[in-house]
Structures are given as structure tokens and as C-alpha cells.
Amino acid sequence: MHIIRNDEDVRQGLDELLVIDPRLVSIAADAGPLPLRLREPGFEGLAHIIVSQMVSRASAEAIWRRMRPDGAVLTAETYAALHPDAWREFGLSRAKAETLTRIAEAIAAGGLDLQALSGLPPKEALAALTALKGVGPWTAEVYLMFSGGHADVFPSGDIALQNAVAAAFGLDVRPTAKGLAVMAETWSPWRSVAARLFWAYYAVKLGRGLVPVV
């Protein structure tokens, strides 16, 4: 199992992808260098992904600054110790606050080891994360990509990726999550690099960033 930890790993993955699927050669030429965008595994990385869902980048960063006023690392223990209504002051939704609390409590109780998920096969790691109420497949996949360093994860439910693949291959209809997951099987064992490639391609073509806030 490959683990992505640096830019060289991304370059290796891309080189192998271009051999696996030559259709990606022209896409890679348009996309340019692929960003690593890797965070340390742990509560803070997963929390940041959850905070950023379904809100603008500016709103997400404003909430995040309120959650970390001194810039210190946000740990599960720190979050679990907050007073019950702190989420209102941060600007979080109740649902996100409850999800973060469940994650923090699971970590504090020893039932969830986010660092250890980096070493598990993708299916096992995804199952462990999605077993937590409020953590869906997209959240789990993005965390495993950008914090766990998993090289063979593809968040096929991501609308930007669906649009990117449709644009890159000239499809008349955007693929469904299930259809894109089937397409992405071709890019194993480097599906996480393929996702980076299509996000970068679409950002270049549309002139705006589409990679999840991590």
C-alpha cells in the first residue's frame, strides 16, 4: 500500500498514472504541477474538513480562527473540554458540533486512533471513520487523502471531481458518484493522485480552485 508523504510521492503516482491511462497525459499537461496539500493526521485535520463543509472558504476560515484563537493545535482533548455552547460562539451548526464532539469523545476514550488509520487498508480506514455518526464517505475519503496520506482513495461523490472528469473527457452528462467510482478503478493504486489531477485540471480550465479546504 502506497502512502503519500511528499511531492516526490505525488510525482511518482502521476508518472505511473500516465502509463496506466494514457488519456491522462494531455490532462496532466493542462493541469500543471499537482499540489501535495498534506496535513498531519489527527483530530485537527478531520475537524477542519468538517468545519469547512457546505460553507464558503471565507466562512470556514473565520470559524476556524474562532476555534483556535491563539493558533494552537486543536486536539480532541481541547475540544471535548469546551463549554457546551461554545459551538454557537464559533458559528458552527449544531450538527457539525455534535459530530466533532462524538469524534473527540471517541478519541479520548481510546476507541478511535486517527494516526493509526494511515496504516490501514483504505476500506478498513473508511469503515472506521464512517462508523461515526455524522462522518460520511466524502469526509472520510478527503481526510484519508489529505491527512492520512492514502494514495488509493477517490472521493467520487465530490461534485467538482464529477464536473472535472466530464470536462476532461468531453462527456455530455456529469457522471454519478457510483459511475465515477467505477471509472476511477482504472487509476488504482493511485486514485488519490488522480483526484488531485482532476481538481487541478478543472481549476485551470475554470480559473478557480476546487480542491476541498483541508
| Dihedral sign of CA atoms 79, 85, 89, 94 in order | positive
Look at the chain and count its residues: 214
Per-residue pLDDT of the chain in tens (214 residues, 90 and over written 9): 899 999 999 999 999 999 999 999 999 999 999 999 999 899 999 999 999 988 888 899 999 999 988 888 899 999 999 988 999 999 999 999 999 999 999 999 999 999 998 889 999 999 999 999 999 999 999 999 999 999 999 999 999 999 999 999 999 999 999 999 999 999 999 999 999 999 999 888 876 555 565 5
Coarse DSSP helix, strand, coil percentages of the chain, rounded to the nearest 5 percent: 60, 0, 40
Q: How far apart are CA 106 and CA 174, in angstroms?
A: 37
Question: How many Å apart are CA 199 and CA 35, to the nearest integer?
Answer: 10
Q: Could you give the domains of the chain?
A: 7-38+152-206 (1.10.1670.40), 43-146 (1.10.340.30)
User: Which residue(s) pair with 3 in the sheet?
Assistant: 150
Q: What are the E-state strand segments in the chain?
A: none
64-85 burial, b at 16+ Cβ within 10 Å, e below that, comes to beebbeeeeebbbeebbebeee
Which pTM was predicted?
Answer: 0.92
- Measure the CA angle with vertex 168, ends 176 and 15; round to 5°: 105
Strand locations in 100-178, DSSP E?
A: none
